[in-house]
Structure 1
């Protein structure tokens, strides 16, 4: 019988069991924030695309705005506040670099 996997099946198997079970709730919230940001940029009064070429240009413009927001504000809005949840303790980044935000 094929059943639905548990929510922790979406996590990285190299993580601890506790993190595997907790992480999906984090990524769902982050995903909701990202989708809401895209919607807000798309609904800001600009002309809606009609043709395929207009749609491509529209989505490219929205993507650039979301990426610019991430670059400009992501460090504080996301990384700093996530670091605050963990008491501003350092985190190991790739290459064994420790950093706090």
Structure 2
């Protein structure tokens, strides 16, 4: 039976320092890439999630996938045996071990928590397909940027890794800031017929201007 399985990476975030968000891109661009490359045919849907609020969760990267138990076990093995995971552990960049969480057996359950309690059932059923597409696009963007980079990185040198993925994260942020309004918000707005949004007072990282 297929279920949702979450693989949670808790990133070390010392007090009075900015979160090391380059680690997110390092994890997604290596571990998640390899999992999807090797296991995509065994995964029905998947998504990535990044967060670094000042709460008990702190800085986390999560990879969720809908698959059977055997596939989830093999994914965990792939993660633990990956060079990226070993490098993060060796350099004290993870705040604890990899956390594996087993969710529901309904493919729509991923959108069923406190933050989505006011969503309609139709939206909950549809949303996993939306976030899967977003996650796949984000992974492809990372791969595209890496493929165009002229920097040779020693994958065992943490200083070179940090420098490379920091620059990669900066490029992703630049693309989001310059083109996100049109490339993402405008086009999804068009799909929904340009209807106005009832925006909640949730923290937008800036006003989303002309869609």
TM-score, structure 2 as length reference: 0.43
Higher helix share: 1
What is the distance in 2 between the residues matched to 1:62 and 1:14? Answer: 36
Question: CA RMSD, aligned part only?
Answer: 2.1
SS in 2 for 1:39: helix
Task: Provide structure 2 residue ranges, at least 5 long, that are not aligned to the other structure.
Answer: 4-103, 203-208
Runs (4 or more) in structure 1 with deviation over 3 Å come to none
What's 1:64 paired with?
170
Q: Answer yes or no: is the 8 Å Cα contact 2:181–2:210 preserved in 1.
A: no
Q: Which has the higher strand share?
A: 2
Q: 1:42 to 1:63 in 2, by over 3 A?
A: same
Q: Compare relative contact order (CA 8 Å, sep 6+) and give the higher one, 1 or 2.
A: 2
Q: How many residues align?
A: 98
Partner of 1:92: helix, strand, or coil?
Answer: coil
Give the structure 2 partner of residue 46 of structure 1. 150
Normalised TM-score (structure 1)? 0.87
Moved more, 12-21 or 28-37: 12-21
